[in-house]
Each structure stands twice: as C-alpha cells, then as structure tokens.
Amino acid sequence: MSRRALHNVLVAAASELGASLRLGVTVETLDDDGDGVDVLFTDGRRERYGLVIGADGLFSKVRAMLWGDAVRPRFTGQSVWRYNFRRRPEVDHLMSFTGPDANAGLVPLADDLMYMYVTSVEPGNPRMETAQLPALMRERLAGFGGLIGELRGEITDPEGVVYKPLEVVFTPEPWHRGRVVLIGDAAHATTPHLGQGAGMAIEDVLVLAEELERGGPLERVFAGYMERRLPRCKYIAETSIQIGEWEMNRVDIDRSPIVRQMVELTAQPI
C-alpha cells in the first residue's frame, strides 16, 4: 500500500469522526502543570489539554521537549533507495534479491504500480544531490541481473528517487512524562527490514485508545500502554536492526525463519 493511499485513508477517517485537522502548524512549547498541558502552537495560538500525544515521527519535537539531546536518532550505516515502476504481471508478491554489494526488492502497490528498493551501505551518511540520485541508484544496482537489471535503466527521474538514510531511535521507558506520551516513530523508530514501522505505530494508537477508554488516572493508562507495547516494539526494533547489521557485514543468513517468527508474533492479540 502506498504511503499516499494510507495517508488519504487515515485523513478521511479522522475527518468523518469529527477530528479537527490543522495543517502547517506544529508545537512551539509545552507547559505541563500536573492538571493539564498548556500548548503554544507555531501560529501563535494557545490551547490547554488534558493529554498531549507526540506522534511527530523520528525527529519528534515533542520528544526533544521532554528528553532534550539525551534521546536522538542514530544512523545505522545503511540507506534505502526507492523508485516506482509500472507493475509487471509477475510481481504479485514481495520479491527480494541479494546482490554482491546490496539487497534489492520489488513490492506491488496496486494493479498498475510497484516499487523497487535497494539498501546500500553509506559510510558517514553522505548528503546526496537530487540531480545525481538516478545515477547513484543505478550504480548501487550494478551487480543485479534479471528483472532488477532490466528495470535499472528506467531509473531516470531525479524527483522519482526516494532516498532515505536508515536512522533509528528507541526512547527509554516509559514513553511518557506527566501528561505527555509518545507513540509511533517518536517513541521507537526502526529500520524497514521487517516492514513493521507503520504497523507498530497503528497498534500504539489502538492500545492507547483502549487504555484511555478503560478510564482511571493517566499514570495507570500509561502503565497499561507500556506493558502491552514495549515487548512487541522492542522485538521488532532489535530484530530489524540486527538484520541490517548482518547485511552490512555480508553475513549469509536465511531470513525465512525470522520473517515467520515476526508474522506469528504480530498475528497475536496485542
């Protein structure tokens, strides 16, 4: 499923449920006095809330307000490149390939759309110039034949290449302070090696909502949230990072048992 499609589904559902959506605005300051949180927004508006949820991603401003520089994202040493193609009929499932210097794959997104990814080792986390992205991505695919090799030459649009350094963060428990709590990548961003980043964030939302519906003091709500989320998120984060380290060190390992274990775990009730 493309990120744009997921975004559209979530925005439509939130709007239908009556949520107030304001774009182009973020949080400037938080003041938690124990009874509530006074929030100053970047557009100058001030509001008071009983609960603040920081769902603002890997480089979370909310997390920085609570933990400062003590918790910062870390570059793993790998980066991922992605590029969309018209879907080939044979690409009806996730396809993964191992090359001499990188790992690549093809992912179906819709009847007429798929994307290619390649993970590469990028020492020093270099900055990539947009105009050079197609040539650099083709260069990292140089060792691949077959379908990957056929598609390589079609990578030509600089704006079509999505390049992302793989950065991770795992906020020390608990993921809350006072009346402010973190969810998703703001709390536990990991690499895409198990494809569970968005899934873990959505589970966070569901669990936190259930704990809030049970009622009681926020401390009890947050304790229930942490108890249910920490083991699962920690497993996904640590296993994903481990796979990346094996790739960088060119360790030959069968991923099938790892993926099966992950699927079995995430199929269990939260």
Domain at 25, CATH number: 3.50.50.60
**Residue 253, pLDDT score:** 83
In terms of domains, do 190 and 116 share one? no
In terms of domains, do 199 and 91 share one? no
In terms of domains, do 183 and 54 share one? yes
Tens digits of residue pLDDT in 125-180: 999 999 999 999 999 999 899 999 999 999 999 999 999 999 999 999 999 999 99
Domain at 156, CATH number: 3.30.9.30
Domain holding 44, by residue range, is 3-71+171-266
Tell me, rounded to whole angstroms, the distance of Cα 185 from its chain centroid.
Answer: 6
CA gap 79, 68 in Å, rounded:
26
In terms of domains, do 175 and 261 share one? yes
Say if pTM beats, i.e. exceeds, 0.85. Answer: yes
Q: How many domains does the chain have?
A: 2
**pLDDT bucket at 255, cuts 50 / 70 / 90:** confident
φ, ψ at 122 (rounded to 5°)? -130, 80
Q: Range with the lowest mean pLDDT among 91-105, 159-173, 234-248?
A: 91-105
Question: Which CA distances in Å does 145 have to 19, 83, 92, 100, 164?
Answer: 49, 17, 19, 11, 24
In terms of domains, do 53 and 123 share one? no
Average pLDDT for residues 27-33, to the nearest whole number? Answer: 97
Domain boundary among 139, 166, 193: 166
In terms of domains, do 12 and 63 share one? yes
CA gap 124, 75 in Å, rounded:
9
Domain boundary among 166, 192, 214: 166
In terms of domains, do 205 and 186 share one? yes
In terms of domains, do 64 and 190 share one? yes
Domain boundary among 119, 145, 166: 166
In terms of domains, do 181 and 153 share one? no
In terms of domains, do 81 and 60 share one? no
**Residue 177, pLDDT score:** 96
CA gap 63, 28 in Å, rounded:
12
In terms of domains, do 14 and 140 share one? no
Contact present, 111 and 144 (Cβ < 8 Å): no
